[in-house]
Amino acid sequence: MPTQEPRSSLPPDDPLRALLHNEVHARPSARIRLPALVVCVAVLNEGVTRADEWAHLKRLPGQQDLTLDALNDNFLRLRTGGHTLKWERHSEFTRYAVVQALPPQAVLAARADEVEWLSSLVVDAQWLSQIPGRTVAAVKLVMLEQDISVPQTALDLATAWFGGRTVVASLLGHGHSMVVTDLDLRPNGFERMLVMAPPGTSPARTGRISQRLLELEIYRLMALRGLPVAKDLGPLLAEAEAGLAEVTQKLEARSASEADLLDTLIHIAAGVERATAEHAYRFSATQAYNTLVMQRLVELREKPISGTQTLGEFMQRRQSPAIATVAATAQRLAGLSQRIERSSGLLRTRVDIAAEAQNQLLLAKLTRGQELQLSLQTTVEGLSIAAISYYMVSLIHYGAEALHSAGLPVNPNLTVGLAIPLVLVGVWKATQRVHAKLHQKLH
């Protein structure tokens, strides 16, 4: 017997390692023995907490000991009464799938109107109607043992079982089973699907078929939730595009002020950004759900049956235009945002050029003022030299008179006359030295 390698031989686990590793086992498909009835109800869980769903699940017979922690993994399988219930919580919806074994007399030969009594074998209708949330999908999937070696014969029986309605059907895989549905919404709120598989089909295979078909229908409806949003946005986008074209035309023709254009552009941009913030998630979710629909169709590996469309052909033909409309609206919204950004750039450039012209004009006025101030300063400096020289000559005159009065042979008038040129030159030189020092400090 091989020995188990000690855990200490590995570095410490990343905190997310176990969670990410177990994700592949998070939602295992059920094992369904034929014949069986699967009743699936998917509800939007916006505003519905796990505690609300836990309280509702506890109302099932024998589930009074169910704990809230059991719902932490977003997946739960309960056995209650004669059936199995699978609970799955997703980001936008929660799915409840009830699997009930059918009695041996539930064969394909039963009439279409006898399908309804099959629902009485499942949990009571009151419990289903009180599931917290708003119904987005409800499917009754009947899975029966039936010879499908002659596909056309099996299809004729299934068509009669659906009351002669137009159906879509296909062989799955390498012909191991057949799926038939009319995708009609019945007055009771349910759609019907029928899966026929030959005797001996493994429970694991029927469980995988059930999971793929139910997920296909739920994801299809979730993907289409973006279509009404796209249609509602049409008038708003048309109005925004017309307003932006008008702004661009006025910007080109210079027929409106920058303030008016900016106010209009801000109004358009605000509306577009609000629409983007409110609906960007819905558009992204539509693309993600549609990708899942395409993957489930590939996983079914459908083969056509003469005289009818396959499930994939029917869905793609009717779903593709809706998904294209949503994608076009999302692209239109993104393109409008880019065009608004470019128009804002043009308007900003125009404002910058106008501001630059105003700055140049202001700078020219400042330069002219500085020139006048410099001229005035030069005039004042000349007057200052004359004034300073006058005061200095006056001081010399007073000094010469004082010396003359003291008896010295000094002629005051002659002394003043000789001193005037010297004083003027000295004062001028001193002013030049002051200018030189100030110029040196500034540079």
300 pLDDT more than 80: yes
371 pLDDT more than 80: no
Token digits for 180?
Answer: 């038939």
| Residues contacting 167, CB < 8 A, separation 6+ | 155, 158, 159, 180, 181, 182, 308
What pLDDT, in 10s, does the model give residues 177-192? 999 998 888 888 899 9
How far apart (Å, rounded) are the C-alpha atoms in residues 279 and 233? 9
Whole-prediction pTM value? 0.76
Task: Give the mean pLDDT of 274-280.
Answer: 89
Q: How would you classify the pairing of strands 93-101 and 134-145?
A: unpaired
Q: Where would I find the beta strands (DSSP E) of 191-261?
A: 191-197
8 pLDDT more than 70: no
- Round to the nearest angstrom and report the end-to-end CA distance of the chain: 92
Q: In this predicted structure, what is the pLDDT of residue 105? A: 64
166 pLDDT more than 90: no
57 pLDDT more than 50: yes
Neighbours of 340 (CB within 10 A): 21
Residue 437's identity, in one-letter code, is K
Residue matched to tokens 């100030």: 438
Neighbours of 406 (CB within 10 A): 8
Q: In this predicted structure, what is the pLDDT of residue 417? A: 79
Q: In this predicted structure, what is the pLDDT of residue 241? A: 84
Length of the chain: 443
User: Regarding predicted confidence, which is higher, 434 or 196?
Assistant: 196
What pLDDT, in 10s, does the model give residues 242-257? 888 888 887 777 777 7
Burial class (CB in 10 A: 0-12, 13-18, 19+), 50: middle
Neighbours of 348 (CB within 10 A): 12
Q: In this predicted structure, what is the pLDDT of residue 54? A: 92
Please check whether residue 403 is in contact with residue 410, taking contact to mean a CB–CB distance below 8 angstroms.
yes
Angle at 388 between CA 387 and CA 390, to 5 degrees: 65
How far apart (Å, rounded) are the C-alpha atoms in residues 416 and 394? 8
User: Regarding predicted confidence, which is higher, 20 or 208?
Assistant: 208
**pLDDT classification of 231: cutoffs 50, 70, 90:** very high
Q: In this predicted structure, what is the pLDDT of residue 107? A: 57
> How large is the angle between the packed helices 412-442 and 311-405, nearest 10 degrees?
160
Q: In this predicted structure, what is the pLDDT of residue 4? A: 57
Neighbours of 161 (CB within 10 A): 24
Put residue 163 in one of left, alpha, beta given phi > 0 → left and psi -120 to 50 → alpha.
left
21 pLDDT more than 50: yes
